[in-house]
Structure 1
């Protein structure tokens, strides 16, 4: 056993480039685990900088300097953010508060409909099952109310945090866009000389993250707009709030779509009851999810590394447990990073064996 471990160690860590890559990964994971919450503004700024770097490059391609392209892109982004903040946010907040106040009535109506199931399907549904389901649902509603109360008590702290983010994050984004080449040069100077594998992985991941963030932003907008017009045509209440939830659900692969299905169907059932309109809304929602997964995602992420759904779900669970929201958001790039590291590590070792 000891000889096997020695052979594995000599085989995997005989290359200085592999050792350097391993130490960098260990250091990065330690920083994320212990200081992830403190780095949240920087991570938000990095994600926005990746998103805005594409229009900056487009402006530069028509002859503008990087400073001018950064100023134009940043000004347009701030103007769009201000418009969204003062138009959509108040409407979403109003619909959210109304939905929360009507949630007990929805649960009561749901209980009435569920109690009819044992009469319709006596051999399939039992009354005890309905009672256990409703008790669990009531406990979740009570827990949600307690969380909202805690959130309201901490609202002052949250407001201060948001104000800090509104000042710090835009400044970070602006200077990351303006001084990108200089910042990358400073970072490269910190790396050791044996960085062949680090450069190989870094180039691949830079392309992956850029494509992922840009693709996710487009996917969120497209899914939100299509869902809103669909719900609006059916005159579904809280159409704006539900469409935004459906759009944001694409940030969490597979799991997000499953979670957001419950409030959509619950609101539709509360408004229309078990009718044909409710069935059409459910069918339309399923069609949107199917088109997103089978048409929109392949188009937007055609350059991304193909990963098995098992690996993606495992990445969401693992990185989300380690890093919270950002672990879930970057689950696919992080899973791609693991794949790129393993590929580069193996290829580097094979090249070293072939070189003698």
Structure 2
């Protein structure tokens, strides 16, 4: 007995796709407390896999190899965290003076705007009060510190990473058995390409972050801005978030220069950071990072904003590598190749369709 396939109309297929997308993002949002550490652990496991395999080839037990790799990355994270913590501790000692300078700056700007645009000071104070209500800095800082020092970072994340590396062969076999024998070669190629893509992307991103941190710190030290190394490092970490992080880093350093120095310092900081961004965007990213992830700028900004809306700062960071993984899959599956083209940055030389209106034929008159 032959099974006849049911052909759905176009609107029914479109409705299914839309409902599927909505359901997918809804699951990502409501399950973020579980999925965020799992996604981070997956990225870290892919990054550490070459180290683990190298130690295994040298004759070490797999469990010991994984433990040594985790110990290595934990030590590096602890050193960076200690340095940032010590710099923040020094900054907290001068926080009252910083707040005083910032309040004085706020008053000067308010007075200038009031005199220039003929707005009463009462209205200006009301506008500033409304803006402060919309941005609760202490709450944001508290949430950030809580996220960094939470239980999942200290315990669950290393456990997830260890288990992913330990059961790597099991997961690979599970994926292989989902497909027919004729498709397993393609699946193996996709998995190998995905692993290499994420590894090279993360390594390139780390190298870029180190270089940007050095350049930012040098610029701020030359200008004489306080806490130059801390701001340079924070700027490099923010720069890991494509497009958006660089703007936030510039604004933060300019604000610090204005609050602790002369107004001219802020201008020089802006010029210096723009120069660093020029070097980063035109030399570092194309040669170190962009060569690994072929995504166009529009899709990159869109997925970063979507990642931030779903998972916060962690989502912004993870959005690019996971979108790049999707592009690898789309490029390998025939029915999904148009989506791979949409995500990429290669424009067709000659589009198959054009938006030119069809010329109307004139009726011949006798």
The two structures share one fold, judged by TM-score above 0.5: yes
Change (3 A) 1:203 1:135: farther
Is 1:280 aligned with 2:268? yes
1:126 is aligned, of 117, 129, 136, to: 117
Report what 2:37 is aligned to.
Answer: 41
Change (3 A) 1:173 1:283: same
Change (3 A) 1:225 1:42: same
Higher relative contact order (Cα pairs below 8 Å, separated by 6+ residues): 1
Alignment of 1:108-147 (within 5 A): 108-113=104-109, 115-116=111-112, 126-128=117-119, 136-144=127-135, 146=136
Change (3 A) 1:127 1:221: farther
CA contact (8 A) 1:110 1:270 kept: no
1:242 is aligned, of 207, 213, 231, to: 231
Change (3 A) 1:77 1:149: closer
Report what 1:312 is aligned to.
Answer: 300
Is 1:297 aligned with 2:288? no
Q: Please list the CA deviations of residues 120-142 of structure 1 after superposition, one character each: whole Å capped at 9, or x if unmatched.
A: xxxxx634399977754554345
CA contact (8 A) 1:211 1:303 kept: no
Query: Which segments of 5 or more consecutive residues in structure 1 lack a partner in the other structure?
Result: 13-21, 120-124, 351-356
CA contact (8 A) 2:303 2:319 kept: yes
Report what 2:247 is aligned to.
Answer: 258
1:169 is aligned, of 157, 160, 168, to: 157
Change (3 A) 1:213 1:139: farther
CA contact (8 A) 2:190 2:328 kept: yes
Report what 2:98 is aligned to.
Answer: 102
Q: Please list the CA deviations of residues 170-220 of structure 1 after superposition, one character each: whole Å capped at 9, or x if unmatched.
A: 22223333442333324544x354994982654443333223222223322
CA contact (8 A) 1:115 1:127 kept: no
Larger radius of gyration: 2
Report what 2:209 is aligned to.
Answer: 220
Change (3 A) 1:280 1:85: closer
Q: Distance in 2 between matches of 1:160 and 1:117?
A: 39
TM-score by length of 1: 0.72
Change (3 A) 1:230 1:147: closer
Aligned residues: 329
TM-score by length of 2: 0.71
Q: Distance in 2 between matches of 1:347 and 1:323?
A: 30
Report what 1:185 is aligned to.
Answer: 173
Deviation at 1:293, TM superposition (A): 1.4
Q: Distance in 2 between matches of 1:265 and 1:332?
A: 28
Change (3 A) 1:296 1:114: farther
Deviation at 1:335, TM superposition (A): 3.4
Q: Please list the CA deviations of residues 146-169 of structure 1 after superposition, one character each: whole Å capped at 9, or x if unmatched.
A: 4525875x89x9489723531222
Report what 2:364 is aligned to.
Answer: none
CA contact (8 A) 1:315 1:334 kept: no
Deviation at 1:246, TM superposition (A): 0.7
Secondary structure of 1:219 counterpart: helix
Query: Which segments of 5 or more consecutive residues in structure 2 lack a partner in the other structure?
Result: 1-6, 339-366
Change (3 A) 1:218 1:279: same
Change (3 A) 1:347 1:150: closer
Deviation at 1:294, TM superposition (A): 1.3
